[in-house]
Amino acid sequence: MTASPIIFQGVTKRYGDHPVLAGVALILEPDSVTALTGPNGVGKTTLARLLLGLEAPDSGFIAGVDGLRRAAVFQEDRLCAHLDAVANVRLVLDRGHRASAEEELALAGLGSEHLSKPVSELSGGQRRRVVIARAMTVRAPLVVLDEPFTGLDADTKPAVMEYVRERLVGSTALLITHDPAEAEFLGARVVTLQYSPGIIV
Amino acid sequence: MRRAIRPVLAALFWVAVWQFAAWSVHKDFLLASPFSVVARLGQLGITADFWATVGWSLGRIAAGFIAAAVVGALSAAAAVRFRAVDALLSPLIATIRSAPVVSFIILLLLWTDSSSLPMYTSFLMVLPVMYANVLEGIKYRDRSLIEAAAVFSVPLARRVRAIDIPAVLPFFAAACRIGVGLAWKSGVAAEVIGVANGSIGEQLYEAKVFLSSVDLFAWTVVIVALSVVCEKLVLRLLRSVPGRMDGARP
């Protein structure tokens, strides 16, 4: 449970001479999902990186994130290719129990025959399920999902989305997506980042 | 099949050239034939002294190599973490790398006895290679995985086992491949110059004193064989590491 909202106030970010975000003001309501949409290159991923603490804003501030445990589904898989699915999930678990990692992967729809293979041998969709299970298993109060369902086939996507919806209960989440149906399914409040450099409209 | 036979044929060709050259020179003290070298190796191999000599050199050179691998890897990790360490070590490593090995051997002879000379010499020759390669490996780690580990607050020891070591391992293996040969070459050179009692280098020195090219060749074959076996052993050991890697082992 996150007690207070996360507030972006006047957040700006530039890479060299290229301004990416210009005075972003945004509130992420506690224990709910906020969907961030907008055209490519407008700064959605940059905003997610700021929220995850991977970058610092050039000016402005982000309040309410100090001390929060974070989890993320990045746009890219970011898995250790030589480790199997279970080891990748256990890597982020506090106590590294194999049983809970296997349970979580099963809930994300990864078959038991794929658990012990190096993730480099899994298909794109299977790897995506590992990535999602890794983020959901830590039960973090702050979760960032950057186009999390990309690469899942139409047959398995609804079940994985249902799993994510259940796991996000009690977390404050930022979902970056181009698909309004995903935002609606997760019950998200939709905000749009527009223009370049990006501002919330 | 053809590809497998090719190196054997090449080796046989050069042995034949060697044999022909030995026949032409026809003076065993100048150029021993391959047959007499093999016969000499047979004589040496059944004596306890031979194995004691091999053990003497192997122990010291291996100790120097292992120390260089450990110190080189840890120094490189420290240099990436702390800029001051990098600034301090870079000129030192560059100096060691470019200085002639005999300068170190003679300097070390002033400070230490000849029995530990091969260990210090192989350590100093291998250290820059280990340091430079491991440093390169650390710099080429996958930044996106490091970021993911930071977001998920993965403990440092677990991250090192799961992300850093597998990334650095190919660079470390390349350094080991070069380093084993360097350790043997420099270590034996130190033994010869220091005339280390009971070492392979002492045997080479005596071969020179007694103009015995058959002993020189026989001991050179032993050194090459030891170097190749050590290299294979180290690489086999390293190849088994990723299989045992499990960053999240409880």
pLDDT over 70 at B248, yes or no? no
What is the average per-residue pLDDT within A142-169? 94
Q: What is the pLDDT of residue B64?
A: 97
Q: What is the pLDDT of residues A24-51, one digit of tens each?
A: 999 999 999 999 999 888 899 999 999 9
Q: What pLDDT, in 10s, does the model give residues B146-161? A: 999 999 999 999 999 8
Q: Which two tokens stand for residue B111?
A: 């400070």
Looking at the complex, does the CB of residue A180 fall below 8 Å from at least one CB of chain B? no
- Mean pLDDT (whole number) for A171-196: 92
pLDDT reading at B180 higher than 70: yes
Which residue is listed with tokens 């930071």?
Answer: B150
Number of H helices, E strands in chain A: 6, 9
Chain B residue closest in CA terms to A82 = B242
A77 touches chain B (CB under 8 A): no
Q: Check residue A188 and report its DSSP letter.
A: P
Alpha helices in B26-82 (DSSP H): 34-45, 48-81
Put simply, the answer to whether B166 touches A76 (Cβ < 8 Å) is: no
Q: Report d(CA A81, CA A72) in Å as an integer.
A: 18
pLDDT value at A195 more than 90: no
Chain A residues whose CB is inside 8 A of the B162 CB are 80, 83, 87, 91
Q: Give the domains, in start order, of chain B with CATH numbers.
A: 44-244 (1.10.3720.10)
**pLDDT recorded at residue B29:** 78
Shortest Cα–Cα distance, A69 to chain B (Å): 8
> Cα separation of B176 and B154, whole Å?
30
> According to the model, what pLDDT value does residue A97 have?
62
How is chain A split into domains, by residue range? 1-69+140-201, 80-139
Mean predicted confidence (pLDDT) in B74-86: 93
Q: At residue B29, what is the residue type? A: F
CB-based contact, B245 to chain A, within 8 Å: yes
Give CA separation, B53 vs B74, B150, B196, B198, in Å. 32, 52, 11, 6
Using CB atoms and an 8 Å cut-off, which of residues 206-225 of chain B contact chain A? none
Q: Rounded to two decimals, what is the model's pTM? A: 0.81
CATH class of A1-69+140-201: alpha beta
pLDDT of residue A86: 93
Q: How close is the nearest chain A Cα to the Cα of B116, in Å?
A: 41
Given a cut of 50, whether residue B63 has pLDDT beyond it is yes
Tell whether the model's pLDDT for residue A2 goes beyond 60.
no
Cβ contacts (< 8 Å) between B153 and chain A: which residues?
69-70
Task: Determine, for residues A93 and B248 on separate chains, whether the beta-carbon distance falls below 8 Å.
Answer: yes
pLDDT at A152 over 50: yes
Residue A3: band (very low, low, confident or very high) from pLDDT cuts 50, 70, 90: low
Mutation target vs B (from A54, A92, A100; most B CBs, 10 A cutoff): A92
Partner B contacted by A68 (CB < 8 A)? no
pLDDT for B243 beyond 50 = no
Report whether pLDDT(A55) > 80.
yes
The pLDDT mean for chain A works out to 91
- Residue numbers in A near B144 (CB within 8 A): 74, 76, 78
- Other Cβ atoms closer than 10 A to B151: 22
Instruction: Report the chain B residue with the minimal C-alpha distance to residue A51.
Output: B151
Q: Is the pLDDT of residue B246 over 50?
A: no
Computed over every residue of chain B, the mean pLDDT equals 91
